[in-house]
Structure 1
Amino acid sequence: MSDLKDFLEVKKCPIQYVLAVNDTLNVISGKWKMPIIASLLYGKNRFKDLQENIEKITPRMLSKELKELELNGVVVRKVYDSTPVKIEYRLTESGKRIYSVMDAMVEWGLEHRKNVVDSIT
């Protein structure tokens, strides 16, 4: 946090901050990734559970987004050798640390919405 304070005082954005923000956005950008991550944070780990928990996501889109999250090291897919085949998705340690990002986004979003609504009324 002191790095951010130093950044704000100097008014010059270090290239590492820009790269870090770009990296973060590349991993979590899109309409569905954060809802998928949120669902996994709260224990939904089977494909069907995720699909039921996230309104309006198609199976094809859920599959695509899970693959991207897996490629980016946020989600791990585990296939059990059973009949029928059981597949579970879990957050990696890196994926679990997104909780603080999500929490900050929710806090900002609630405050922002309140400010916008207050300015309209």
Structure 2
Amino acid sequence: MRSGVEDVPEECAVEFAMEMLGGRWKLAVLKQLVSGTHRFGELRHALQGVTPRMLTRQLRELEADGLVTRTVYAEVPPRVEYALTEVGQSLESITDELDKWGRWYRETIRREAPFGLHPTA
């Protein structure tokens, strides 16, 4: 498991946010859940390359931090759905801006600097 957010210096809010949202998949999971409730399989399908174990771990951490809710329905077979909490929904504008920036970077900067060469200032 990750280190606790209690270990992050209080004066560094960015470091605190990164402790909660850092990792390869958390922001991608949140971005998917912005559009509504999803089942585990839907999230796994949408996030190409994530392993079931990693997705489970990320969802558990997001749930523990109060950003995602997990609802289990008493059906056969069991149905489990994930949704954003009110706190998780507060990240919608952040995930949207990161999505826009990522698209801009990929389309502009990467095109201008092929073969992994990055422009220098």
When the two structures are superposed, what TM-score results if normalisation uses the length of structure 1? 0.74
Q: Which residue of 1 aligns with 2:82?
A: 89
Instruction: State the AA in 1 paired with 2:66.
Output: G
Match of 1:79 in 2: 72
Query: Alpha-carbon deviation of 1:56?
Result: 0.7
1:70 to 63, 70, 77: 63
In structure 1, what is the equivalent of residue 4 of structure 2?
none
User: Aligned equivalents of 1:116 and 1:57: distance in 2?
Assistant: 24
Q: State the distance in 1 between where 2:110 and 2:41 align.
A: 36
Q: Secondary structure at the match of 1:76?
A: strand
List structure 1 runs of 4+ shifted beyond 4 angstroms.
110-113, 115-121
| Pairing partner for 1:22 from 9, 15, 35 | 15
**Could you say if the C-alpha distance between residues 26 and 118 of structure 1 is closer, same or farther in structure 2, counting changes exceeding 3 Å?**
same
* Aligned residues: CA RMSD: 2.3
Structure 1, unmatched stretches of 5+, are: 1-14
- Number of residue pairs matched by the alignment: 106
Give the TM-score normalised by the residue count of structure 2: 0.74
Determine what percentage of the aligned residue pairs are the same residue: 34
Conserved 8 A contact 2:37-2:81: no
Structure 2: tracts of 5 or more residues without a match: 1-8
Query: Looking at CA atoms only, which structure, 1 or 2, has the larger radius of gyration?
Result: 1
Aligned CA distance change for structure 1 residues 110 and 53 (closer, same or farther; 3 Å) = closer
Matched residue, 2:52: 59
Partner SS, residue 78 of structure 1: strand
Q: Give the 3-state SS of the residue equivalent to 2:72 in structure 1.
A: strand
Higher RCO (C-alpha 8 Å, min separation 6)? 2
Deviation at residue 46 of structure 1 after TM alignment:
0.3
Q: CA deviation at 1:43?
A: 2.8
Task: Quote how far apart the aligned CAs of 1:107 are.
Answer: 3.4
Distance across 1 between alignment mates of 2:43 and 2:84: 13
